[in-house]
Structure 1
Amino acid sequence: MTFQPLEQALHEAIDWMLRLEHLPASDPAHLAFEHWHAHCAENRLAWQRVNGVLDSALANLQGLPGQAQVASRALRALANPPRRQLLGKGLALLLLGAGSVSVLNRLAPVADLLADARTATGERKTLQLADGSRLSLNARSAADIRFDTQQRRVVLRAGDLQVQVEPDLARPLIVATAHGEVRALGTRFMVRQESERCLVSVQQHSVLLSTADGSARRVEAGQAFAFDRRGSMAVAPSMRTRDDWVHGRIEARDEPLGELVEALRPYYGGLLRISPQAAQVRVFGTFLVDDIERTLASLGETLPIRVDTLGFWLTRIDVK
């Protein structure tokens, strides 16, 4: 039994699992599956591994109170085809020996599975809030929504959000982050939570930015600021501050390839690695995020770089 036939059988077993999950027992697909299963030893071994691997992975989350059930619901609720692509990649990683929790975290970030609103890898979502405002979440983002008669408050836990705010003078909408707060002044704006800082950019009207050091500043349409607990500073517009992701694309304007890869990473279910040399290559263009494999391949065709995809779990980018 060689690795290549087994790898192909794993792909097919994952497809069968997803295909049969909601079909009644009388559906002819079940008979076709039995023929596939009996065809060869590779198919039977692949099905044995796939049939048990997801439950095994979720069992490893039992130490995180309440999150095994939430993880299961989140993974099984992903829409096709992203669900097929991402769950397939995650199962493949598990079958090839990667850690269960880390793989599940690549599919649906474990730390934010209990958030009021969240997105998985490769997923975007737009919600209409109770006041009529529209909240858009980028891939791998999460937020809690705290609306009552006294306040309109959105707590950004991870990733990117954009809000199109409905005016309410008595309850200004506030986006809270780990590093400060952004108060809407009747506006459309974006906030990004990073590990050491946050970014705010305004697409319409203005916002009031307040940081933990007690300082506050008004941010106007077209401006972007980085902020942490010590204060804020203006930053040049970039992929990190533009809201193209709302429309399923990322626009690079003579910017480092490493920045583009970081922007694409929330849409890639496997491991994405780039060398320091390749990260410095300048890139210009508009890139679609809903077919990440094709986007990565096109970068290899148009830039002086090499994009090597190893199976479906790892992509490496380096200079030629």
Structure 2
Amino acid sequence: MSKTKVDPITRAAIDWILRLESGHACPSQRQVFKAWLAENPEHMAAWQRVAGLLKNPLTDLQSVDRRSPGQLQAARKALLETTSPSRKKALQGGVLLVLLGLGAAGVVDRITPLAGLMADQHTGTGERKTLELADGSRLTLNARSAVDIEFSAGQRRVRLREGELQVDVAADARRPFVVATAQGQVKALGTRFMVRQGTDESLASVQQHSVQLDTLGGLQRRIETGQVVSFTSHQIDPQTPTSGSQADWLEGRVELHDEPLSALVDALRPYQTGMLRISPEAARVRVFGVFPLDNTAHTLSALAQTLPIKVTRYGPWLTTIDVRR
């Protein structure tokens, strides 16, 4: 196979993968990176190309080996090598990731989410953060979340760009507290609630007192303690409380009661540095139990011992889950 050619700007973007790989880049490095992004529109375009998460189903990945027998295992072996220079060379060439069906790159967003870099506050993969806001409210961000905080004399506003938050609102009769998403806004009428920004919809759940939901399309609904709704700009749908609407992530865990394995995988993804893919058959396996979020490898290994599933790791970049054949 001939070596994949990468243009200089894309190569520079891939180099940033390697600099940020540990997830512990110092603030000065992040400032240099932000300056590089702002220097040229082509830099941002290249970063977006290599940072985009691919959402190909697991069956597409499996078809790689059917088309070219042995390539997937060869890539897995190379990715598992511990010698850093060889891994760097492979990444810069883009060859192994192409073999895995991941594109020229496509892993860096799993380490440093792009949306978070430009936000007022953000968390990386596997990171939770609690902030005390200027008004005394407490804002907690789940992993891979990003917010802009806009306080004025007349309103307290938090714009959720990505991910999930919970807020404990401090009383202030003169300034309402609002969490805005791409589909609408949730205004506090009490003290504690949670909001999640999904791909095409948002979710709001109330842990204490109530909130007022207003969608961009003009729909309104009051949500009381224990209630959960998902919403788009033009639709509000009450939801049955599940693991996905609970705030157990604040304590680093997720609890499932007869839910599909896909629900657990969704909860683990913000804590998994590499890509995590699950086959449709494995996604339907039912799960009970309480699972830690902060050690995804341990959680998945434990599941493989108790459920009829197989977990395969391709180095730090990709983990697949399939039913045991």
Q: Secondary structure at the match of 2:297?
A: helix
Pairing 1:140-159 to 2, within 5 Å after superposition: 140-159=144-163
Q: Is the 8 A contact 1:60 1:101 kept in 2?
A: no
Q: Secondary structure at the match of 1:240?
A: helix
1:137 is aligned to 141
2:211 is aligned to 207
In structure 2, the CA distance between the partners of 1:317 and 1:276, relative to structure 1 (3 Å rule), is same
Shift of 1:310: 2.2
* Alpha-carbon distance between aligned partners in 2 of 1:248 and 1:211, rounded to the nearest angstrom: 31
Q: Secondary structure at the match of 2:294?
A: coil
Q: Is the 8 A contact 2:256 2:290 kept in 1?
A: yes
Residue range with higher mean Cα deviation, 140-149 or 101-110: 101-110
Q: Is the 8 A contact 2:107 2:275 kept in 1?
A: no
Q: Is the 8 A contact 1:61 1:101 kept in 2?
A: no
Q: Secondary structure at the match of 2:200?
A: coil
**1:231 counterpart = 2:235:** yes
Runs (4+) off by over 4 Å: 58-68, 98-101
**1:289 counterpart = 2:297:** no
**1:255 counterpart = 2:259:** yes
* Alpha-carbon distance between aligned partners in 1 of 2:300 and 2:38, rounded to the nearest angstrom: 32
Deviations 1:47-102 (A, max 9, x none): xxxxxxxx99x96886459979xxxxxxxxxxxxxxxxxxx9xx868368346763
Q: Which has the higher contact order (CA 8 A, sep 6+)?
A: 2
Deviations 1:78-134 (A, max 9, x none): xxxxxxxxxx9xx86836834676332111111331100101111111100000100
Please, which of 174, 180, 187 is the counterpart of residue 178 of structure 2?
174
Q: Is the 8 A contact 2:253 2:291 kept in 1?
A: yes
* Alpha-carbon distance between aligned partners in 1 of 2:170 and 2:209, rounded to the nearest angstrom: 12
* Alpha-carbon distance between aligned partners in 1 of 2:266 and 2:93, rounded to the nearest angstrom: 25
Please, which of 207, 212, 222 is the counterpart of residue 218 of structure 1?
222
Q: Is the 8 A contact 2:115 2:161 kept in 1?
A: no
Number of residues of Structure 1 aligned to a counterpart in Structure 2? 251
Q: Is the 8 A contact 1:124 1:139 kept in 2?
A: yes
2:194 is aligned to 190
Q: Is the 8 A contact 1:212 1:231 kept in 2?
A: no
In structure 2, the CA distance between the partners of 1:129 and 1:94, relative to structure 1 (3 Å rule), is farther
Please, which of 106, 111, 118 is the counterpart of residue 107 of structure 1?
111
Q: Is the 8 A contact 1:67 1:113 kept in 2?
A: no
Q: Secondary structure at the match of 1:102?
A: coil
In structure 2, the CA distance between the partners of 1:144 and 1:66, relative to structure 1 (3 Å rule), is farther
Q: Is the 8 A contact 1:258 1:274 kept in 2?
A: yes
* Alpha-carbon distance between aligned partners in 1 of 2:93 and 2:242, rounded to the nearest angstrom: 37
* One-letter identity of the residue aligned with 2:130: T
Question: Identity rate of aligned residues, in percent?
Answer: 52
2:53 is aligned to none
Q: Is the 8 A contact 1:129 1:135 kept in 2?
A: yes
Shift of 1:239: 2.1
Q: Is the 8 A contact 2:107 2:317 kept in 1?
A: no
* Alpha-carbon distance between aligned partners in 1 of 2:38 and 2:105, rounded to the nearest angstrom: 7
* Alpha-carbon distance between aligned partners in 2 of 1:190 and 1:132, rounded to the nearest angstrom: 17
Under a length normalisation based on structure 2, what TM-score does the superposition of the two structures give?
A: 0.70
In structure 2, the CA distance between the partners of 1:158 and 1:307, relative to structure 1 (3 Å rule), is same
Deviations 1:189-214 (A, max 9, x none): 00000111100000011000111221
In structure 2, the CA distance between the partners of 1:288 and 1:62, relative to structure 1 (3 Å rule), is farther
Please, which of 289, 303, 307 is the counterpart of residue 307 of structure 2?
303
Structure 2 residues without counterparts, runs of 5 or longer: 1-17, 27-31, 46-83, 98-102
Shift of 1:178: 0.5
**1:278 counterpart = 2:282:** yes
* Alpha-carbon distance between aligned partners in 1 of 2:290 and 2:39, rounded to the nearest angstrom: 42
Deviations 1:264-304 (A, max 9, x none): 11111112111100000000111111111111111111111
* Alpha-carbon distance between aligned partners in 1 of 2:305 and 2:149, rounded to the nearest angstrom: 43
Q: Is the 8 A contact 1:253 1:284 kept in 2?
A: yes
* One-letter identity of the residue aligned with 1:264: L
* Alpha-carbon distance between aligned partners in 2 of 1:240 and 1:163, rounded to the nearest angstrom: 17
